[in-house]
Copies of this chain bind each other. A is one copy, B any other.
Amino acid sequence: MASSETTTERIDLLREARRQWEKHWGEEPAPSMAAVTTLMRAQQIVMSHLNLLLAPFDLTFARYEALMLLYFTREGSLPLGKIGERLQVHPTSVTSLIDRLERDGYVERTPHPSDRRTTLATLTVAGRNVAGQATQVLNADRFGMDALSTESHEELILLLDRIRETGGDEVAGDLRPD
């Protein structure tokens, strides 16, 4: 109970950072800074958790998302460019994502029937199976979000949507395959 400077108690590093911020720059910017660092860290924790759940399927969350995009398509195929649009990642990221999914036999590159510039990523049978199985696991685990009640999920979504809006997180265009 002494003023223990040599303490070995549990310390929350983000709270400590916020304390420093308030000390140096006052109360004003501290909440923003704290919100950002907390967002980063929470994302990192959830991502790690999901990647652990997906590892048995030779998937990462990024690859899982790409797989599900195809899964929801009538034909199980999409042009690589569309995948990038939907996932909001750079075209070159899609190339490497599909490279790995193809390597593991979950998708195949097939030519577009009418546009020879375009390559379609097409779900294989194995890909469809693994997408279904992985989804069972993630759903059963509530995507690692069990710490929050359903109402809290909605609260969180509402708050984060405000951030997404400022990032212009909407996309022009329909949702058809090509």
Contact between chains at A36 and B8 (CB < 8 Å): no
Flag the segment in A95-103, A112-120, A122-130, A161-169 that touches B: A161-169
| Chain B residues within 8 Å of A9, by CB | 172
Per assembly, the copies of the chain total: 2
Contact between chains at A20 and B147 (CB < 8 Å): no
Contact between chains at A172 and B40 (CB < 8 Å): no
Total number of A residues with any Cβ neighbor in B under 8 Å: 77
Give Cα distance in the complex from A150 to B154, angstroms: 19
Given contacts A32-B142, A155-B159, A163-B45, contact A20 B72 (CB under 8 A): yes
A174 at the interface (CB under 8 A from B): yes
Give Cα distance in the complex from A123 to B135, angstroms: 47
| Chain B residues within 8 Å of A172, by CB | 8-11
Considering residues A14, A31, A61, which has the most beta carbons from chain B within 10 angstroms of its beta carbon?
A31
Contact between chains at A148 and B144 (CB < 8 Å): no
Cross-chain pairs A/B with CB under 8 angstroms, 15 sampled: A8-B174, A10-B171, A17-B68, A20-B72, A32-B139, A34-B157, A36-B145, A38-B157, A42-B164, A44-B88, A45-B167, A45-B169, A145-B163, A147-B163, A148-B162
Which residue of chain B has its CB nearest to the CB of A150? B31
- Interface flags for A24-51 (1: CB within 8 Å of B; 0: not) read 1100110111111111111111111110
